[in-house]
Structure 1
Amino acid sequence: MIEKQLALYLVMGSQNCKHDPVETLEKAIQGGVTFFQFREKGGGSKIGEEKIELGLRLKEVCRQYDVPFIVNDDLELVSELDADGLHVGQKDGDMKKMKESLKSYQMLGVSTHNVNEALEAQKLGVDYIGVGPMFNTSTKDDIEEVNGPIVIKEIRERLPNIPLVGIGGIKHDNASQVIEAGADGVAVISDITQAQSVKDATERLVENAN
């Protein structure tokens, strides 16, 4: 069930990490991460062969622990890495074409910011919907207006069965608000990747999100 897999969703690239990214991912999974998105994007991120090589190493960790390995916004990279799926934003291209380009076993997740976008995504037959930003975040510079967990509640009322994950500024001390609003899980970046002890930080998130 994808709903259970979405419980704690780590979004990460090397540019987000305080420690080695492969080690960060492994410690995070050991701490309770259940879903992973490779998002190698922005200042300091790897490109070309280096990016592919890192992706393969991170995928290997996911395979070892039976955690889905999703690629952010790059259909070609999904193919090169034989990822478990693709995650796209609202401005990342034709979602219908992307869905058709994926193999039958590959998932499509879509970022949404309101009920209308969520309804459109559901019509496409996406596998899960990311909703955000929940809270203020410094990880993304193209941030939308923060509407908070109320948006999860509104979407859940209209789409009771769609798998939902909240994203944006989620930390151990506010994760429970997102789950209480109706999300199946929370997506996290810096609260895990910037932690001194990645495993401890992940365990604390798991504890507070339940």
Structure 2
Amino acid sequence: MKLDPFYLIVDSAAWIRRLVPLGVRLVQLRMKDMDEMSMRREIAEAKTVCERHGCQLILNDYWQLAIELDCDFVHLGQEDLAAADLRNIRAAGIRLGISTHDEAELETALSAVPDYIALGPIYETRLKKMRWAPQGLERISDWKKQAAPLPLVAIGGLDPQRLPGVFAAGADSAAVVTDITLNDDPEGRTREWIERTRRLIGSTSVSPAIQ
């Protein structure tokens, strides 16, 4: 399996409606503090947009809704992984991504046989306070050796200028939140990410997001 090198993370269908038509092929919908009915509406709208534009939709945390609403992926943190029914996720044909921050979490994630592993934060991040220090580029190389052949997603504090080092260290995909959503020109920044990631990884011909 091959991930698209550009992995966008947003918190609403409105962002998906705004940015996916620019050429995004892989997007995670990460919603917090929302009632279930509103969440279902967001997922349904996000799915419609993604299907129209050939983009894979990843739902963060809510694996039951990912199954019920037929998302392409579910992404789980370590706490959510412990409570998830992996057998049902696999039976539904939902692909699985797992967050990791240290060796113990990597071991736990690999034992779940996911479709990709995420490592972060690579650099200091503005998104939220983390109890882990920035991982750095060397950790990407170490994680890639341990996780191979699974795709490795790097996340945390990334911007277009840092992408060459991230991919050279072994990441298959680079995830981004605030560098786009807090940018003065989110559309322009998204186009820059798309161009830089696909040029650096040499995957301009990869379509759709997953092979």
Q: 1:82 to 1:159 in 2, by over 3 A?
A: closer
Q: 1:105 to 1:168 in 2, by over 3 A?
A: same
Number of residue pairs the alignment of both structures matches = 197
Instruction: Give the alignment partner of residue 97 of structure 2, picking from 103, 109, 117.
Output: 109
Q: 1:129 to 1:30 in 2, by over 3 A?
A: same
Instruction: Give the alignment partner of residue 195 of structure 1, picking from 183, 187, 206.
Output: 183
Return the offset for 1:73.
0.9
Aligned to 1:89: 77
Instruction: Give the alignment partner of residue 9 of structure 1, picking from 2, 7, 10.
Output: 7
Partners of 1:13 and 1:38 within 8 A in 2: yes
Normalising by structure 1, what TM-score? 0.83
Aligned to 2:55: 67
Partners of 1:152 and 1:182 within 8 A in 2: yes
Return the offset for 1:104.
4.2
Q: 1:207 to 1:93 in 2, by over 3 A?
A: closer
Aligned to 1:18: none
Return the offset for 1:140.
2.4
2-structure distance, mates of 1:194, 1:141: 17
SS at structure 2 position matched to 1:71: strand
SS at structure 2 position matched to 1:4: coil
Deviates more, 1:196-205 or 1:124-133: 196-205
Deviates more, 1:163-172 or 1:113-122: 113-122
Return the offset for 1:151.
1.4
Return the offset for 1:177.
1.9
Return the offset for 1:199.
2.5
Task: State the one-letter code of the partner of 1:46.
Answer: M
Aligned to 1:36: 27
* Superposed counterparts of 1:96-135, under 5 Å: 97-102=84-89, 103-135=91-123
User: Does residue 150 of structure 1 match 2:138?
Assistant: yes
SS at structure 2 position matched to 1:174: helix
Between the aligned residues of both structures, percent identity stands at 29
Q: 1:118 to 1:32 in 2, by over 3 A?
A: farther
2-structure distance, mates of 1:100, 1:140: 31
Q: Which runs of 4+ in 1 moved over 4 A?
A: none
User: 1:13-70, CA deviations, whole angstroms, 9 ceiling, x for partnerless residues?
Assistant: 13xxxxxx42x324432334221111111xxx53231221111101111111222111
Partners of 1:133 and 1:143 within 8 A in 2: no
Partners of 1:173 and 1:208 within 8 A in 2: no
1-structure distance, mates of 2:65, 2:127: 22
Task: State the one-letter code of the partner of 2:87.
Answer: E
* Superposed counterparts of 1:164-179, under 5 Å: 164-179=152-167
Task: State the one-letter code of the partner of 2:106.
Answer: A
Return the offset for 1:115.
4.0
SS at structure 2 position matched to 1:166: strand
Partners of 1:137 and 1:169 within 8 A in 2: yes
Task: State the one-letter code of the partner of 2:185.
Answer: S
Unaligned runs of 5+ in 2: 201-211
1-structure distance, mates of 2:62, 2:131: 20
1-structure distance, mates of 2:49, 2:56: 10
